Amino acid sequence: MTKPIDSSRRESFKKVLLGGAALGSLSSFDWKTDQPLKLKGNINHGVCAWTMPDLSLDELCIAIKKIGFNAIDIVGPETWDTLKKHGVECSMCNGAELGIPRGWNDPQYHEQLIKNYSEIIPVVAKYGFKNLICFSGNRNGMDDEVGMKNCAVGLKKIMNLAEKHGVVIQMELLNSKVNHPDYMCDLSPWGVELCKMIDSENFKLLFDIYHMQIDEGDIIRSIQTHHQYFGHYHTAGNPGRNELDENQEINYPAVMRAIVETGYKGYVSHEFIPKSKDKIAALAQAVQVCDV
C-alpha cells in the first residue's frame, strides 16, 4: 500500500515540479506604480507586441521597462522611432516578409522577397537592431527537400548584404498541427539542415518553444543538440498558447536553464495570449517563471 503524502511533502513536491518558480504567485502588477522586478539577468526578456493589443506601443514600452526588461518583438520600421524614444530594443524586426504562407520555399516569391529584404536590412542596421524574421512558406504540395533547396537558393542571395550589415535573418519554426497547417519549417531538423545548406552565421532559426512542443516535443534535447542554429526563442503555454502557469505542460524553468547552459546571450520573447484581464501582470508572471 502506498503511504499517503503529508501536506508538507506535497508542497515540497509541488515546488520541485514547478522548478522552484511560483507560477501562480503574482496576482497583480501595476506598471504605473510598482517597482521593477528584481531579475537575475541570465535571460534577456522580450515580448511580442501583438499579444498586448490593449496597450499603445508607448504604453507597452513604459510597461515592460517597469517590469524590468526593454525589448519588443515583431514590429516594423514604422514603430522603431517610438522604440528608440523609450530606449527599447526591437529584438525581432519584421516588415520584409510576405506573410507566413508565402515564403522562401516558393521561387515565384523570390524576386519580391529579395527586393524587400534588400531594402529593409540596411534600415534594421541603421537603427542598431540585429534580428529580422523570415518564413519558409506553406508546402502547397511541394516536397520538403525541394522546398529546402528553394529556400537556400533564395536566401543565399541576401546573405552577403545581411553579413555586411550585421543583421541575422531568422526563420521561425512554427507548428503545422494546430496553428499553421501546411507550413514547411515545422520541425527543427529541417531548419537545421537549411542552416547547414546556407552556411552563414547570419542565418539562424527562431525556435518557438510552444510551436515545437506541439510538433516535435523533446524541447530540452533539441536545445542542447542544435543550440548553435537557434538565434532567438519564443514562449507560450501549451495547450492554449496562454500564460506560463500550472495549467500548461511545458516546464519553463527547466527549459530556460537549458538555454542558459548553452551560453546563449540573445532574447527570449514571450508570445503567449493572456487569458487574464490583467495582461501586464500575466507578462510579469511569465518573466518571473523564466527568471532562472
Phi, psi of 14 (to 5 degrees): -60, -40
Task: Rounding to the nearest 10 degrees, give the CA dihedral for residues 208, 209, 214, 217.
Answer: 130
- Where residue 208 sits, what CATH number does that domain have? 3.20.20.150
Please, what are the averages of pLDDT over each run of 10 residues along the chain (292 residues)?
43 39 54 77 98 96 96 98 98 98 98 98 98 98 98 98 98 98 98 98 98 98 98 98 96 98 98 95 96 96
Cα pseudo-dihedral 226, 227, 232, 238, rounded to 10: 70
Strands 267-270 and 131-134: unpaired
Residue 214 lies in a domain: yes
Question: Is residue 57 a part of any domain in this protein?
Answer: yes
What cell numbers appear for 99 in the block?
A: 506573410
CA distance 61 to 49: 10
The answer to whether residue 14 is domain-embedded is: no
Q: Is residue 54 part of a domain?
A: yes
How far is 276 from 254, CA to CA, in rounded Å? 24
- For residue 19, what pLDDT is reported? 41
What domain range includes position 167? 40-289
195: in domain: yes
Collapsed DSSP state (helix, strand, coil) of residue 208: strand
| Residue 33 confidence (pLDDT) | 64
Is 61 contained in some domain?
Answer: yes
Number of domains within the chain: 1
pTM above 0.75, yes or no: yes
**Sign of the dihedral through C-alpha 103, 118, 96, 266:** positive
Rounded Cα distance between 161 and 284, Å, is 37
Kindly state whether residue 4 falls inside one of the protein's structural domains. no
User: Residues with Cβ < 8 Å from 75, sequence gap 6 or more?
Assistant: 49, 57, 83, 90, 93, 94
Residue 173 within a domain: yes
